Amino acid sequence: MKRRDFLQIAGVSGLGLMLGCTSSGNKVQSANAEDVELSHFVFIDTNGVVTILNHKPELGQGVYQAIPMIIAEELEVDIHKINIIQSLADKEKYGNQGIGGSTSVRRGYTELRKIGATGRILLIQAAANQWQCSVSECSASNGSVSRNGSKVKLSYGELVIAASQLEVPKEVELKKSADFKILGKPTLRQDIPMKVKGEAVFGLDVELDNMLYASVERTPYMFGAVDSYNKEAIEALPGIVSTSILKTDLFGKPRQGVAILSEDYFTAYKARKQLKIEWTAIPEVYDDAKIFGAFHKEKSKKPTAQRNKNKDKTTLSNQVDTISAEYECPYEAHSPMEPMNATVWVKKDSTVEAWLPTQNGQSARGSIAEITGIQKENITINVTFLGGGFGRRSLQDFAIEAAHLSNETKRPVKVVWSREDDTNAGPFRPATLNVFKAGFDSQKNLTSFSNHIIAQIIGHQWPGADLTKIGGGTYEGAYWGYNFANYTQAGTTVQLPVPIWYWRSVYSSTNCFVNESFVDEVANHMGMDSIDFRLKHMKDERATTLINTIRKQSNWDNPAPREFKGVAFAHVFGSYSAQVVTVEKSGAGVRIKKVDAVIDCGQTINPDTIEAQIEGSIIMGLTAAYKGGISIQGGKVANSNFDKYELLRINETPEIEVQIMKNDHAPGGIGEPGFPPTPPALGNAIFKATGLRIRKLPMTEVSIT
């Protein structure tokens, strides 16, 4: 295959040309070389230039570098000399390409290594065939195969045509971790030079000839249908090409809007101010008080489901004292800096091409097939860079809108959401009420610990969902490894007309805050040190090692004068995560001095990316702890832009120190585990500094700087 054809298949060069910029980053081009496909992920040209595809969407978490690193390690090539290209969304070729649950590396690790190892073995076999020797006499390193004990060497470029014609081995031997040359070493990311020069192509940057821009006035009530609107008046405005009712659903309920299409975004956006829409099918109107009121109604009722461990009637019979507490957490918006957008082109020849900043291109491909009636094979999904996602872009509503509008107009359509559109529509991180109770015997030993989470359940939003079952994910972030006697985690599902969705660390984002705060309340009630209490109640050696490490790093046992420290722990998304927040008193409130973090995510791929993910998670955690919270008033979002929905800024960012544990356990997630411990560690530090136990997010009861 010629390089040019291959790049077009990979869906990048065409876009680069259209944008008149070089989206190629560091890419090495070899003249007059032919690219040979060694697998769907690995291409080597006859000059030896290696290209590895990243098949997962890149939204900041670093897969663009990490996935090729895993393949390159086993392939035995220099990671600094390879080209990296983003693949199309194509399940047949690349398997599951969705991103969520911090799974890209931990679920793909072995398969990706096998892909690299298969390439290595084919290249070694090709060399052995040429030398007429056994493969055991050959070894691969740095893009070439050597014959052991001699200086004879063949480059991958010289071997690749022969290698590509060999039968693919059924089983491949993987390298020992002690022999890793790439994995576990900080490696410069190839997407970063593009991003500092403004050359990285995000969804919003896609530009096609004859393209229309769409701006959509969606129902302000999160759900609802359009009864009628002033179509003629809007279409008479200068620059307006067409308008239509976007008859879209969310979770089986209408979430419609009026789309205005123009040759440029601002003309379409501005015309929305002239719209007069009659809405129908508006759901029952809720506000914050009514939402939490609905939760509180459930707390005395039997939970939908529960899990119990360490049931022990004898211990329970000695219970003479209890403490209880209620915690409330608000909805949150994902608010990636790039608002939702999508570009879809339903062509007259009954094929579709789409350019999507999506966390799940395959899902979008399926939806576009349904909308257009065009078979998946004729739908090409280019995955652009994503300007953040945090879970939001795993829902494909933006792609569905663009598909409808392009299907109607048969022109390329880019739907662009405003910031307010992005915040108002949700779906949101679920709001929660948690009810805790702990019991003690006369010696103040813990005799029971129970938590009851009352919230909407993400999986219960689809029509026909089984409302009697609650998945284990609902309890994630509450550490089930604590060996508390009579330990219960219970859950109650609540149905509300507010759409919710996966948000960085999902239920862990609230569960860890409420559980680790109440664990601190229990420790305090027993007169025990927060870390001693946790260590006493956990057995997993990785957990205790982690806690002992954060204890040392944070100088836990020797705080400076006027310093107060709070700790929290999570075992989520395959990783162990502990943090200590250090505060000092500042007037009636506190000032955050430092956040210490330790992460055990097993075998590391790119440690620099891990550190970055933990830093970013902490900053998002502080935002959610004391700035965030989507407020709903009269059925609508009350804080839809960054003046009222504030994010942490640089001047509010404390010192952060991240330590990564070194071991060769299987890789764990890194995009989410850094988030959950931050809010509770802050709350626990505030309690020590002020005596005030914060049981409601965002933390507005105390001044935090």
Partner 1 sequence: MATYKLNINKKMYEVEAEPDTPLLWVIRDKVGLKGTKFGCGAAHCGVCTILFNGFPIKSCTLAVAAVTPEIEITTIESTDFKNLKVVQDAWTKVQAPQCGYCQSGQILTAVSLLNQNPTPSDADINTAMTAVLCRCGTYPRIKKAIKTASQELNA
- 198 scored as a contact of partner 1 (CB under 8 A): yes
- 337 scored as a contact of partner 1 (CB under 8 A): yes
Interface of this chain with partner 1, residues 61 to 80, rule: CB under 8 A: 61-62
365-389 b/e with 16+ CB inside 10 Å = b?
A: bebbbebbebebeebbbbbbbbbbb
Pick the piece of the chain touching partner 1 (CB under 8 A) from 110-118, 199-207, 242-250, 494-502.
199-207
Q: Which residues contact 391 (CB under 8 A, 6 or more apart)?
A: 100, 334, 359, 501, 502, 503, 504, 506
- 647 scored as a contact of partner 1 (CB under 8 A): yes
As given in the structure block, the two tokens for residue 672 are 């989410």
As given in the structure block, the two tokens for residue 178 are 């002690």
Q: How far is the CB of 533 from partner 1 (least distance, A)?
A: 30
Pick the piece of the chain touching partner 1 (CB under 8 A) from 348-356, 570-578, 629-637, 647-655.
647-655
- 90 scored as a contact of partner 1 (CB under 8 A): no
- 506 scored as a contact of partner 1 (CB under 8 A): no
**Which of 34, 37, 137, 207 lies at the binding interface for partner 1 (CB under 8 A)?**
207
SS3 call for 381: strand
- 31 scored as a contact of partner 1 (CB under 8 A): no
Q: Which residues contact 492 (CB under 8 A, 6 or more apart)?
A: 298, 301, 303, 304, 452, 453, 454, 455
Q: How far is the CB of 447 from partner 1 (least distance, A)?
A: 41
Pick the piece of the chain touching partner 1 (CB under 8 A) from 292-300, 318-326, 505-513, 610-618.
610-618
86-123 b/e with 16+ CB inside 10 Å = b?
A: bbbbbeeebeebbbbbbbbbbbbbeebbbbbbbbbbbb
**Which of 608, 631, 661, 664 lies at the binding interface for partner 1 (CB under 8 A)?**
608
Strand partners, 566: 581
Q: Which is nearer to partner 1, 335 or 447 (CB)?
A: 335
- 679 scored as a contact of partner 1 (CB under 8 A): no
- Mask 453-472, x = binds partner 1 (CB under 8 A)? --------------------
Q: Which is nearer to partner 1, 164 or 623 (CB)?
A: 623
Q: Which is nearer to partner 1, 536 or 594 (CB)?
A: 594
Q: Which is nearer to partner 1, 149 or 198 (CB)?
A: 198
Tokens 């859950």, residue? 491
Size, binding site for partner 1 by CB under 8 A: 67
Angle between helices 678-690 and 607-626 (to 10 degrees): 50
Q: Which is nearer to partner 1, 195 or 347 (CB)?
A: 195
Whether 694 and 686 have beta carbons less than 8 Å apart is answered as yes
- 19 scored as a contact of partner 1 (CB under 8 A): yes
* H helix count then E strand count, the chain: 19, 29
Q: Which of 234, 235, 217 is nearest to 226 (CA)?
A: 217
Q: Which of 185, 141, 149 is nearest to 662 (CA)?
A: 185
Pick the piece of the chain touching partner 1 (CB under 8 A) from 248-256, 265-273, 526-534, 560-568.
265-273
- 270 scored as a contact of partner 1 (CB under 8 A): yes
Q: Which is nearer to partner 1, 197 or 562 (CB)?
A: 197
Q: How far is the CB of 619 from partner 1 (least distance, A)?
A: 3
- 4 scored as a contact of partner 1 (CB under 8 A): no
DSSP structure class, residue 572:
E
Is the peptide bond between 497 and the residue preceding it cis, with omega within 30 degrees of 0?
A: no
Angle between helices 104-131 and 63-75 (to 10 degrees): 30
- 316 scored as a contact of partner 1 (CB under 8 A): no
- 195 scored as a contact of partner 1 (CB under 8 A): yes
**Which of 53, 77, 99, 201 lies at the binding interface for partner 1 (CB under 8 A)?**
201
Q: How far is the CB of 44 from partner 1 (least distance, A)?
A: 27
Whether 630 and 690 have beta carbons less than 8 Å apart is answered as no
How many other C-beta atoms are found inside a 10 Å radius of the C-beta of residue 136? 9
Q: Which is nearer to partner 1, 60 or 184 (CB)?
A: 60
Residue 244: HSE in the Cβ half-sphere, 13 Å Cα cutoff: 16
- 648 scored as a contact of partner 1 (CB under 8 A): yes
Q: How far is residue 387's CA from residue 393's CA, in Å, rounded to a whole number?
A: 10
Q: How far is the CB of 334 from partner 1 (least distance, A)?
A: 8
CA 383 to chain CA centroid, nearest Å: 16
Pick the piece of the chain touching partner 1 (CB under 8 A) from 149-157, 266-274, 404-412, 519-527.
266-274
SS3 call for 236: coil
Whether 86 and 53 have beta carbons less than 8 Å apart is answered as yes
Q: How far is the CB of 507 from partner 1 (least distance, A)?
A: 21
Interface of this chain with partner 1, residues 416 to 435, rule: CB under 8 A: 416, 418-420
Pick the piece of the chain touching partner 1 (CB under 8 A) from 171-179, 437-445, 614-622, 690-698.
614-622
Q: How far is residue 159's CA from residue 77's CA, in Å, rounded to a whole number?
A: 14
Q: Which is nearer to partner 1, 202 or 518 (CB)?
A: 202
**Which of 2, 80, 197, 469 lies at the binding interface for partner 1 (CB under 8 A)?**
197
Q: Which of 282, 235, 290, 292 is nearest to 258 (CA)?
A: 235
As given in the structure block, the two tokens for residue 83 are 């080209």
- 104 scored as a contact of partner 1 (CB under 8 A): no
- 236 scored as a contact of partner 1 (CB under 8 A): no
Q: How far is residue 127's CA from residue 123's CA, in Å, rounded to a whole number?
A: 6
- 564 scored as a contact of partner 1 (CB under 8 A): no
Whether 505 and 572 have beta carbons less than 8 Å apart is answered as yes
SS3 call for 662: coil
Q: Which is nearer to partner 1, 342 or 494 (CB)?
A: 342
Q: How far is residue 219's CA from residue 480's CA, in Å, rounded to a whole number?
A: 41
- 188 scored as a contact of partner 1 (CB under 8 A): yes
- 232 scored as a contact of partner 1 (CB under 8 A): no
**Which of 617, 639, 659, 684 lies at the binding interface for partner 1 (CB under 8 A)?**
617
- Mask 354-393, x = binds partner 1 (CB under 8 A)? -------------------------------xxxxxx---
Using CB under 8 A as the criterion, which residues of the chain lie in contact with partner 1 when the complex forms?
Answer: 19-21, 58-62, 188-189, 191-202, 204-205, 207, 213, 239, 264-267, 270, 335-339, 385-390, 416, 418-420, 608-609, 612-613, 615-620, 641-643, 647-651, 653, 656
